[in-house]
Structures are given as C-alpha cells and as structure tokens.
Amino acid sequence: DVVMTQSPLSLPVTLGQPASISCRSSQSLVYSDGNTYLNWFQQRPGQSPRRLIYKVSNRDSGVPDRFSGSGSGTDFTLIISRVEAEDVGVYYCMQGTHWPRTFGQGTKVEIK
C-alpha cells in the first residue's frame, strides 16, 4: 500500500499567520492518465471530513482562497495563507491514484 506521511502532526498557529502542512507519498501519485490524484481534507471538531483540494491544487466549491495546494510526484504541500479561527481542526492528505486509497496520519491545527 502507498504510505502517506504528513508533517508536522501538530501545528499551533497565530491567527492571521500562514500555516503549511507537508505530505509525502511512498510512490509517485502520477496516474496513467497524466493526472496526480492528491487530495486534501479538513475535519473540524465533531464534523465529517470535507474535501478542500483535489488533484494537487484545485479548490473545491466554496473553499476560501486562503487555502492552496501544490506539489508533484511524491511531495505535496497545503498552505493556509492567513489562519482564521474556523480553520481549527485536523487536515488529511489522501492519495487517489493507487488501490487501496490511503490517508496521511492527519495534522492537528490549533490556535496559539
């Protein structure tokens, strides 16, 4: 199975400051169709996960533009340009290229 490794696992941030989460995969996530299926999810306390970013850098509908994704191959990054209080929660990366789908361990974002 493809192992997804996130860092850091805990991320205290100051309101209004940027936050960055890294995700690395044990294999390339480039699919045979040329796309890279790396997605990012946010799970607020007590809620279901919600997809923020698909195929590395595409924001889902309704996702604020302070969230951005980048990367290629096996190295990917989620950036929150200016953290707001509503961004508190756990963030997961997920690879959608290989079976079974696999998630990173999660990064807990909290306000300092």
**Binding to other proteins (CB under 8 A): which residues in 5-34?**
none
Q: How many C-beta atoms surround the C-beta of residue 39 within 10 A?
A: 22
Minimal distance, residue 85 CB to other proteins, in Å: 23
Closer to other proteins by Cβ: residue 43 or 81 = 43
Which one of the spans 11-19, 22-30, 37-45, 69-77 is the region binding other proteins (CB under 8 A)? Answer: 37-45
Q: Which two tokens stand for residue 74?
A: 């096996």
Q: Which of 2, 60, 63, 68 binds other proteins (CB under 8 A)?
A: 60
Minimal distance, residue 82 CB to other proteins, in Å: 26
Looking up tokens 């789908």 gives: 101
Q: Do residues 101 and 1 touch, judged by C-beta distance below 8 A?
A: no
Q: Which two tokens stand for residue 77?
A: 């990054």
Total of residues contacting other proteins (CB under 8 A): 22
Q: Which of 39, 69, 71, 78 binds other proteins (CB under 8 A)?
A: 39
For residue 5, what are the β-bridge partners? 24
Does 50 bind other proteins (CB under 8 A)? Our answer is yes
Q: Do residues 94 and 36 touch, judged by C-beta distance below 8 A?
A: no
Grouping H, G, I as helix, E, B as strand and the rest as coil, residue 23 is strand
Which residues lie near other proteins (CB under 8 A)? Answer: 1, 37, 39, 41, 48-51, 54-55, 60, 92, 94, 96, 99-106
